[in-house]
């Protein structure tokens, strides 16, 4: 049984070595049941063949403004009708200049000019081309015209140089596309997320930490960004890349995380505490490396500040969401934590199954009771969690508004 497409978009490909990434992007979209119509410039065909893109999209690829296969002879207008988004990836410096100037001299540029839907571009070029004053000027024009710009990243380039101008990876552009296509349930909402472990120094080289990878917190930040929120991520030490469109604040210790959260809290509507913050820290950290001896080492530990509890206890706190990682009696201990900290929502999981893993099983606890999220990739869980947060947050705002009107 065939599945109806979830969304309809047009994928434009321009000339550049990064065109190979468009093939993977098309594959990701089609896998997610997105209907993809590919349009390629003449230069793009030098880097990836229309046959390849047709095989991936399942549709004939359009390359010519005068393509006789397009009905009615008005394909330069009709081809974009019914599309929710036009994505150009890669978008070369030449193509971006044409967009900024309103030039329509081939099928893709004409479609972009005649569109009725949003446009997202993923720039890809040599670092000198990206930093050129003309390109910077064109990007300002496009941003002012409402064109969404994904990237570019900085890194190794095909020319052998290193710097800005490298096109985002296919999965990063895919996430940007989802942020456009999915309902912006949290548009205008500012979300503050904590993620990762903390590191509490014992001496100059040793410390107390935990096995948290930070993956769930980063997934929550990405899911909130996809839902249209303005997201700030306060992160302990991790090896993860920051989600596209998310602002990250790096910290190391629990104390640093507390100060960073307090600095960002005034602008937050929702606070999601996912970080595995150390409950204790050494009373005094040695500035020098402690030498090993035959004697027993005694280490005095003092409690750290409970960041989530301190935020939730404020006179007018943001909507607070907590996480609980337990090794047993998950639901009871999670609900006790939720009530003790006066949280509207808490997500609980088994530490031995979730920490460091790519998948997890969550139990969501709120005033309505228990909601089970079966085992799935953490990004999938994060999206479901954000949906729940959105519903409860909107409900709480409605209650506050009614109280004010009284």
Spatial distance between the Cα atoms of 93 and 107, rounded to a whole number of angstroms: 17
Token output for 145? 């015209």
Spatial distance between the Cα atoms of 305 and 254, rounded to a whole number of angstroms: 8
Q: 159 an active-site residue?
A: yes
The three-state (H, E, C) secondary structure of 269-288, written as one string:
CEEEECCECCCEEECCCCCC
Q: CA gyration radius for the chain?
A: 25
By the 8 A CB rule, do 38 and 61 touch?
yes
By the 8 A CB rule, do 19 and 48 touch?
yes
pLDDT at 156: 67
Helix intervals (H) in 17-169: 19-31, 50-57, 75-78, 93-101, 107-113, 127-131, 133-144
> Residue 41 phi/psi, 5° resolution?
-80, 165
* Per-position DSSP letters for 49-88, written without gaps between them: -HHHHHHHHSSPPB--TT-TTSGGG-HHHHTTTT-SEEEE
Of 382, 400, 396, the residue nearest 231 (C-alpha):
382
Q: What is the pTM of this model?
A: 0.65
Q: Which CATH number fits domain 7-181: 3.20.20.140, 3.40.50.1950, 3.40.1260.10, 3.30.70.1350?
A: 3.40.50.1950
First to last CA, the chain: 54
By the 8 A CB rule, do 348 and 323 touch?
yes
Spatial distance between the Cα atoms of 202 and 244, rounded to a whole number of angstroms: 35
- Mean pLDDT over each residue of the chain, to the nearest integer: 87
Of 30, 48, 27, the residue nearest 39 (C-alpha):
48
pLDDT at 128: 85
The strand pair at 301-303 and 247-250 is best described as unpaired
Spatial distance between the Cα atoms of 233 and 237, rounded to a whole number of angstroms: 12
Token output for 23? 């093939």
- pLDDT class for 2, splitting at 50, 70, 90? very low
Per-residue pLDDT, averaged over 395-400, amounts to: 77
SS3 content of the chain, % helix, strand, coil (to 5): 35, 25, 40
- Greater confidence (169 vs 295) lies with 169
- pLDDT class for 341, splitting at 50, 70, 90? very high
Of 131, 119, 122, the residue nearest 151 (C-alpha):
122
Q: Among 104-113, 157-166, 190-199, where is mean pLDDT lowest?
A: 157-166
- Greater confidence (298 vs 270) lies with 270
Burial track 318-338 (b if 16+ CB lie within 10 A, e otherwise): bbbbbbbbbeeebeeebbebb
Residue 401 has pLDDT above 70, yes or no: no
Q: Which candidate in 26, 117, 159, 320 is catalytic? A: 159
Q: Do domains 7-181 and 190-282+300-405 have the same CATH topology?
A: yes
Burial track 241-270 (b if 16+ CB lie within 10 A, e otherwise): ebbbbbebbebbbbbbbbebbeebeeebbb
Residue 1 has pLDDT above 50, yes or no: no
Q: Percentage of the chain with pLDDT > 90?
A: 44
Q: What is the DSSP letter of 253?
A: S
- pLDDT class for 70, splitting at 50, 70, 90? low
Q: Give the residue extent of every domain in the chain.
A: 7-181, 190-282+300-405
Spatial distance between the Cα atoms of 243 and 230, rounded to a whole number of angstroms: 12
Which CATH architecture group holds 190-282+300-405? Answer: 3-Layer(aba) Sandwich (3.40)
For residue 343, what are the contacts with CB-CB under 8 A and spacing of at least 6? 308, 312, 320, 321, 322, 337
Of 230, 14, 9, the residue nearest 115 (C-alpha):
9
> How distant, in Å, are the alpha carbons of 215, 318, 343, 366, 403 from that of 308?
19, 11, 9, 16, 26
Residue 253 has pLDDT above 50, yes or no: yes
């Amino acid at each position: 049984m065939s599945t109806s497409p979830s969304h309809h978009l047009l994928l434009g490909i321009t000339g550049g070595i990064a065109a190979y990434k468009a093939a993977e992007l098309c594959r990701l979209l089609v896998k997610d049941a997105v209907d993809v119509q590919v349009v390629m410039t003449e230069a793009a065909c030098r880097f990836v063949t229309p046959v390849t893109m047709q095989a991936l999209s399942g549709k004939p690829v359009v390359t010519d403004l005068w393509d006789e296969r397009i009905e009615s002879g008005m394909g330069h207008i009709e081809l974009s009708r019914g599309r929710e988004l036009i994505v150009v990836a890669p978008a070369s410096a030449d193509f971006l200049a044409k967009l900024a100037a309103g030039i329509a001299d081939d099928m893709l540029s004409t479609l972009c000019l005649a569109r009725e839907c949003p446009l997202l571009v993923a720039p890809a070029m040599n670092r000198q081309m990206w930093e050129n004053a003309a390109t910077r000027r064109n990007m300002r024009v496009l941003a002012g015209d409402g064109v969404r710009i994904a990237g570019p990243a900085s890194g190794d380039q095909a020319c052998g140089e290193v710097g800005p101008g490298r096109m985002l990876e296919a999965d990063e552009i895919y996430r940007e596309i989802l942020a456009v296509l999915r309902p912006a349930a949290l548009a205008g909402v500012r979300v503050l997320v904590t993620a990762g472990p903390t590191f509490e120094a014992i001496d100059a080289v040793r410390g107390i930490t935990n096995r948290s990878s930070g993956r769930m917190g980063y997934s929550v930040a990405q899911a909130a960004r996809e839902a249209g929120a303005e997201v700030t991520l306060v992160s302990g030490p991790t090896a993860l890349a920051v989600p596209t469109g998310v602002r990250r604040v790096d910290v190391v210790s629990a104390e640093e995380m507390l100060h960073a959260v307090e600095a960002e809290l005034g602008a937050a509507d929702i606070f999601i505490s996912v970080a595995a913050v150390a409950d204790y820290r050494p009373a005094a950290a040695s500035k020098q490396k402690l030498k090993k001896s035959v004697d027993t080492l005694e280490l005095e530990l003092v409690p750290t500040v409970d960041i989530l509890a301190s935020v939730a206890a404020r006179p007018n706190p943001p909507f607070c969401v907590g996480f609980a990682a337990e090794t047993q009696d998950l639901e009871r201990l999670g609900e006790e934590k939720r009530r003790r900290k006066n949280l509207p929502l808490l997500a609980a999981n088994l530490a031995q199954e979730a920490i460091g893993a790519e998948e997890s099983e969550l139990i969501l606890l709120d005033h309505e009771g228990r909601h089970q999220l079966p085992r799935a990739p953490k990004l999938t869980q994060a999206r479901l969690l954000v949906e729940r947060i959105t519903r409860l947050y909107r409900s709480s705002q409605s209650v506050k508004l009614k109280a004010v009107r009284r």
